Structure 1
Amino acid sequence: MTLGSELYNFSNNHLNEKISQLIINSIEDHAIFVLDPNGFIMTWNPGAENITGFTAGEALGKHFSVFYTDEDKHHNVANTDLTLALRNNKYETEGWRVKKDGTRFWADNTITTLYSENGRLLGFTKVTCDATYRKLSDDHKSRMSAELERRIVSKDKAAISEQRRFRKLIENSYDGISLFDKDLQVFYRSRSAERIVGWNNMERTEREIEDLIHPEDIDIVNQTFADVFAHPDRPVISQYRTKHKQGHYIWVESLISNKLQDADINAIVCNFRDVTERVQAEARIRERNHRIDEILESMTDGFISLDKDFRYTYVNRQIGEMIGYDQRTLIGKNIWNVFPEAVGSATFDAFRQAMLTQRYTWNEDYYAPLQLWQENHIYPSKHGLSIFIRDITERKLAEASMLRSESNLRSIFENTDLAMILFDAGANVVSFNNNAAILSERHFHKTLKAGMPAMHYASITRRQSVENIFDEIRTRSPIVYEVSYPLPDNVTAWFEVRWVNVTNEENASIGVLLSLKNITDKKLAELERERVTKDLIQRNKDLEQFTYIVSHNLRAPVANIKGLTNLLDGLPCNEETDETLKLLSTSITQLDTIIMDLNNILQVSSEANDTLEKVSLISLVEKIESATSLLIKKNNAIITYDFNELPTLMSIKSYLYSIFQNLVVNSIKFRKADVDPVISITSKTDGTKAIIFFEDNGKGIDLQKQQAHLFGLYKRFDMSVGGKGMGLFMVKMQTERLGGKIHIESEPDKGTTFKLEFPLK
């Protein structure tokens, strides 16, 4: 237990205030003071003056962020600390703080929330301890790590046997270690350094630092080394991206120390580790939180979250506009203290019921002080409540206005295509329009009359359902469903039925409004659409079956004819007959090729339901490089790729392999003369789609002439290179089978870029 929490418990044991103050004032090595709910200093003890240099007169009334560094002020760390304390009742943190004279000290901080007996936030207690000595001790330990490295690289032969043990420790450590000379040339790297970045010692020494650092992080690294040279007595921590041997970038965190002045070391010592997963996880969390905030702030409905004590933990902008408050001032306050008139209301009961039962609850309520009708959707969890609030004041006023004016109600009734019936609170008919009277006669063979009970018009099978609706309508309105009624000549009529609870200004139920809308035409259209869809599916199956039969049944006779022509080719014959046989053999071979191509296309169609799997794009390209290694080597082709943003894709692996291979092979085949082909493959995502780019420096395509037939079967545009015109056709077909799209940008002699888009889900 920390000193801050002990003091807090000590004070709560009903010691009188004077003794507590004397104890606090007697503590001179801890700063102990009280903040108001907004973080402004309310009390000050001698220990606070000893640590920070501020007197009580100088500190009281100031915001406690005055002790934070400029960087922490820029990132609003002080308010973040208060928010975390508010969420957890107590928050412990440490970091650099600033004294009155501008010097820094390492502080251990404990912030504890203070509440009144009725749950109102009074403020915070803050206990700070100067832990600079401990921090310097920790830093000294880091310097000792560099000392171990010094011993490893020492050339003192007398210490070789002893240093071998330290070398093994360093070589097998998780962190990588590199030593630079004064010109930042690497002359030593530990075994873990190669494991982390992939480069062996020879490969690393052949590359400058600027060639390995991500372009966006060059300034960070340059500034880091500038700080290292400027402050040889102080290790510098830095985080940046460096290129892995496989071509992608990884995030590393480095601790760099300038030991050039130490004759035994004479090096810049860099301890580093791979923190890519941590950085990416932090980025995903930030992105997720940002998207959630954007969604909540862009909603037309209000949204609030409450903790288990009904204190606000989140309020969106719409709520502030709805109730006329700055939503930021509500955080941490109890909702019933902010709106005391709501205690005992239907909303009060709904919130407590949802918290107690841990079940979703819905209600409508009127809050008189704000003249606000609200519709609440309450979602409980073990941490509190999430509530979506909709302003339904206009709708309620319209409903009330409709009931107050019988003439207006009658006008609405008779000038609508709906059948409408108004029942009173006792479920008796009050009023109805002509459409409702006609429907009652047609379907129930009963005449609608004012004063008659609703059950009089319900069939025996429907009476229980109607009774349930009248019971539920006061807490669940509207109730909407579809129903059908048989008509003569085997015709069915469909209606959308809507029950609405009607209330007065005091939110008391005064009746129920029933409306029926004829949706027969829409239902018939839906049934017809289903029939046409089913027919199209069957026709498509029949067409595929026909194509399958043609392609497969032709294979056998074509093979027989091809065999017979081969036999005839060996028989003696005249020149004219020999030429005819050659033409016949060529035609049969072409027909056989067409049938095989058709089989390949059918195979793509039949594989459309193959199992999806997570495909590694790097592994996919490496397999294609291996399979086409002779073609790549023969043409001096270079393939580069960057899949950092989207390393994997849920897809059919065989399809992706075929697409990638066709595009790579085409780029090499249609290279420019005397220019080595270069192919670049990159991936990215826009949140809903996976996007893959294939870019080459080949001959290019004249899209003005070839666009219309670019992906056609057996379409070729460059006869200087062999081929059948199947590649791009198969790429487009397989891409679309995966639910994707393909786009192309190209100009003659300027290369070609293919853009593939696939849905992420």
Structure 2
Amino acid sequence: EINGIILHFRDITERRKHEDALLLSEARLRQIIDLIPGYIYARDAEGRYLLANSMTARAFRRRVSEIEGHTHAELDASPQFGPDSMAADREVIQSSKIKLLPAETLHLDSKRQLILRTYKIPYVSPGSEIAAALSVSIDITELKQAEAALRTSEANLRAMLENTHTGYMLLDAAGKILACNQLIRNWYRREIGQAQGLELSVGQNFPNLMPAERRAEINTRLSRVLAGECLELETNFKRPDGSQSCYALNYQGIRGAGSEPLGVCLAVTDITVRRQIEQKLRDNEAHLLASQQVAHVGSWELDLGIYVDINTNPLRWSDECFRVFGFEPGAVEVSNELFFSLVPPEQRPAIEAAISQALATDGVYSIEHQILRPDGSLRSLHERGEIFRDPQSGERLKMIGTVQDITELRQSERERNQLLLDLLRRNQALEEYSFIVSHNLRAPVANLLGLVDLLQADLPVSDQGECLMGITQSVGQLEAITLDLNSILQVKPGVHDKRAPLRLSELVAELRQDLSEALQAEHAALITDFAAADELNSNHSAVYSVLFNLLSNSLRFRSPDREPRIEISSRREADKLWLRVCDNGLGIDLKQSGKQLFGLYKRFHPHVGGRGVGLFMVKAQIERLGGQIKVNSSPGQGTEFEIELPTGSA
């Protein structure tokens, strides 16, 4: 029989509080890992999944609850989460150290794949105290694709430079070699380096590689070219066998969109054989000399025996000379009057002065000019002539010269310079990507890892809100950096190459509609004038993006003392169209910030929001279109941008 009941009471309040806090901490941890754009999961040393976020579940094609508590062998999962990854898990568990795995490819299906960068972090499961490894895999597919595209583009440029008969070297403003082809390496080894045991390569200082007696001369040439000169020189080298080699050197300055000196391009051409032939020809009769010199080049003779006036002296052309000037041989009567009628009026005085100088000094007549052929085509010519005298009396007999059509040569030089400028820009693009990856991505990722460690360290509930806020800020930074990378990718080669006719008035009407709310909110006046030039052949999205960024900046950086007023106008100069965008906003101190104005992540009004990407994108898009941008601004006086764009042809 029952004589009594014994009741036993135990106070479990603290235990319940601890359990509730643990559950709350775990719930918040799950919220956090589902917010992070990556694959996150934790496994113990046996390969059992203790934690997984929603992105990992989608990769498994299962729910989170169907993953946690199971091993990899029990799941039909991607190889990325398989034996190799589990070996890294065990290494992290044993060492209690963070491990970064090499980039891996995750195959989502037969058509889609991602490139992941994975961090393995020591982890202890809340409540169970089981040691595990927490894996955080971040998608770096677009970054890798961008790097591959830039490497391909650089390789294509390199192939173009290597397949030429001229040696090329690109120097920065300090004389450091940025790029060079094999031909110029061979030239240096053969003529200079072999005797000194030196090789020419990228990264070296070019003047320091030259013989000591030539360094001052080389530095002087570089300074002159950076100051705006173009130098065409010839230089000789004495070879070990006693023979002489001769090279033509062409120094061209490379300048940015703002005409600032970026570097120097040196072209070296071996003209030894050419000079040897010319020397042999000079030993022959004057007429034979002219005939040999003009192989595939027109020749002419100006009779000086009865010289009174350059326009009345007899002039003779070879058959090839007729063709150079656009006539069939013998089709017209040759005279200096005919010749000058083909030369553009503004170039005639320079030709007359060069001829007069040669006649006055018995010097060489050498000039480059243009002609307008009867068929309307504009051609570039180079003429060279020498005066010949009677060996007995010393009287002047004639001037014999050659004329060469160098139109295609000058065009190829312009294309070469454009290639070199593209190479500089793409090197700068690589530096921008490197800056974003090495400086901007590393900080938020490190913050995330540190904050996750804090949450795992039984952080008091009262401090977890601040920790979560820090995680949210880091995620926001990652998202902003990703948007910046996507924006920069929009101006990679090919994106703005497609061009079509467009009207500026229609394009600005679209902008006015898209910015209507902002314009009305700020009581802003937008005044346009495209009467002088409304049409051009360009890329619609690129021009729209440029003007959108400039108008948005005008509204964002408005003056608090007056209502915004924005003016957009255009004018045409030859084959260029100029756009003027002017506002009455805060303005910029160009003396202090002018050199950094178009830099990435550069901001000049800290009290106004923004990331400092807009003007960087504006300049990059304009240069991709083949144009340039100029700015005029003063603090408190507003800002004026002038944009030069090629009009193109429809």
TM-score between the two structures when normalised by the length of structure 1? 0.36
Between the two structures, name the one with larger relative contact order (CA 8 Å, sep ≥ 6): 2
Larger radius of gyration: 1
